[in-house]
Amino acid sequence: MAIADRTFPAWAFRSPLRRATVRPAVLLDFCGPKLGETVADLGAGSGFFLEELRRRIGPTGRVYAVDVDARALALGQRLLTPDGPPVEFVHASAASVPEIPDASVDFALSNGLLCCLVDKTGAMDEMWRILKPGGRALVTFQTFTRGWTRRGRALRMTDDGFRRLVGRRAWTVSAGSPRRFHRTYRLDRPAGPGAERTAERAA
């Protein structure tokens, strides 16, 4: 039997506990989007980060909100304020998002996604594909998931596993402030005419 990705109730994405422990503005200060940019929120849930993303990119920007859970996306659509740049809600796994064109995104957010996905390689490859040369991503994940069961092993995200994932491409990686069971990274896709050749050798 295939192992399903980890999902949460739609309300959990906007619970008081999450609001008390995760502050979108603080996290996005690390390498958030800029005015006029196109953004992809991969694993957007019900849109916990959407308003802060929209505030930063302004009226000329654009947002893709991607999630495998249609109920969470529907809640995000209902809660979205009418003002601000457009948001395209995409019901899909972050490991396969054909709705987003190649090299069309300036900034990708992957907050807590890799420790909920089985196909982590597919998600990282899609992130590389949709980012423009010179684009950047903010990736966070938890490392406390146990690997005692088949499902646990499939969903678990480790430091070694992350190094293997980023090593498949020519990412430039910088870390945020370390926490015991939580990792924050900025990934940059190199720009310039040699970037694709470098990426092909790395893959």
Q: Please say whether the beta carbons of 146 and 156 come within 8 A.
A: yes
pLDDT average, residue stretch 57-74: 95
Q: Give the architecture-level CATH label for domain 25-202.
A: 3-Layer(aba) Sandwich (3.40)
> Residue 9: phi, psi to the nearest 5?
-55, 145
Instruction: Point out the least confidently predicted range of 138-147, 167-176, 185-194.
Output: 138-147
Eight-state DSSP code of residue 81: -
CA-based angle 92:98:103, to the nearest 5? 125
> How is the chain split into domains, by residue range?
25-202
pLDDT score at 120: 94
- At 67-102, the pLDDT tens digits run 999 999 999 999 999 888 999 999 999 999 999 999
Helix (H/G/I), strand (E/B), else coil: 161: helix
pLDDT at 21 over 90: no
pLDDT at 161 over 70: yes
Locate all alpha helices (DSSP H) within 80-191, ordered by sequence. 120-130, 150-155, 159-167
Strand order, beta sheet including 38-42 = 87-91, 62-67, 38-42, 105-111, 131-142, 182-188, 172-175
Strand extents, DSSP E, 58-129: 62-67, 87-91, 105-111
Those residues whose C-beta lies under 8 Å from the C-beta of residue 133, and which sit 6 or more positions away, are: 103, 189, 190, 191, 192, 195, 196
Distance CA 123, CA 97 (A): 9
pLDDT at 4 over 50: yes
pLDDT score at 17: 59
Q: Which two tokens stand for residue 81?
A: 């304020």
pLDDT at 18 over 60: no
* Residue of 52 and 145 predicted with greater confidence: 52
Task: Please provide the average confidence, as pLDDT, over all residues in the chain.
Answer: 86
Task: Count Cβ atoms within 10 A of the Cβ of residue 91 and give its class: 0-12 exposed, 13-18 middle, 19 or more buried.
Answer: middle
* % residues pLDDT > 90 (the chain): 64
